[in-house]
Amino acid sequence: MIEEYILKDFGNKNVLITGGTGLIGRQVVDILCNSGANSSIVSLDKINIDNRAKHIYGDITNFEFCKEITKDKDFVFHLAGIKVL
């Protein structure tokens, strides 16, 4: 498990999780929300996995979009994969 002193560092920080609706991403979102982080999830999925996190629908292959969503973030967890349609 993650040490408590590490989790405290995320409290009140602005955190972005790409792929936050995926298998690993959901666990990371839960951990970060529990630590008090201001969490945002960016994904191509239109599902709400945690009411404590802000959900952003978007495509991170667009560089301008990436610059916009990361401009005020303290941490970014990049967990997104390529979605094959």
DSSP designation for 40: E
Indicate yes or no: pTM above 0.85.
yes
pLDDT, residue 82, reads 80
Domain ranges of the chain: 4-78
CA distance 18 to 56: 10
* End-to-end Cα spacing for the chain: 35
Give the tens place of pLDDT for each residue, 42-85. Answer: 999 999 999 999 999 999 999 999 999 999 999 999 999 886 76
Cα–Cα–Cα angle for 76, 79, 21, rounded to 5 degrees:
105
The domain 4-78 is placed in CATH, from the list 3.40.605.10, 3.40.50.720, 3.90.600.10, 3.30.750.24, at 3.40.50.720
CA distance 26 to 63: 24
